[in-house]
Amino acid sequence: MRKFILAIAFWIAAALPAWAESKAIETTIRAQITALQADDFDRAFTYASPTIQQIFRAPEVFGRMVRQGYPMVYRPSAIEFLELASVEGYYWQKVQIRDSQGRYHIMAYQMVHLDGVWRINGVQLLPSQEVGV
């Protein structure tokens, strides 16, 4: 019985840091989407990594890219966080987003940890897994 309790305690201790990282990552993504929904591109831009900020240079340019290239992120009707994975030193958070027409999209957010905070380093639209009508 003692070994079982120790195994459970070890599993919980190992899972807590990953859970904490997952919640911090979710908070960052959710905050950026909330800022985008409010058309607050200045605030949304602060959640982007320095690499993304350098590419787009200005919050307005970033906002235009999101509106045109990722309308489901700009105006989602629902968001659900899926699995978080670590691949070659980067964390990837999958997010299921339902757009205003009721279609589902799976997005993969590449996250980087800089100066104690999580930043979004890119977003990929993954191929649809929906079955044809």
Q: Both tokens of residue 43?
A: 């605030």
Residue with tokens 């966080």: 81
Residues 9-24: tens digit of each pLDDT: 444 444 444 555 789 9
* pTM (2 d.p.): 0.81
Check: CB of residue 34 under 8 Å from CB of residue 64: no
Check: CB of residue 53 under 8 Å from CB of residue 45: yes
CA dihedral of 78, 92, 23, 37, whole degrees rounded to 10 = -40
What is the rounded distance in angstroms from the CA atom of residue 102 to the CA atom of residue 111? 27
Q: What is the mean pLDDT of the chain?
A: 86
Residue spans of alpha helices (H) in the chain: 2-37, 41-46, 50-56, 59-69, 71-74
Residues 115-132: tens digit of each pLDDT: 999 999 999 999 876 544
Contacts of residue 20, Cβ cutoff 8 Å, sequence gap at least 6: none
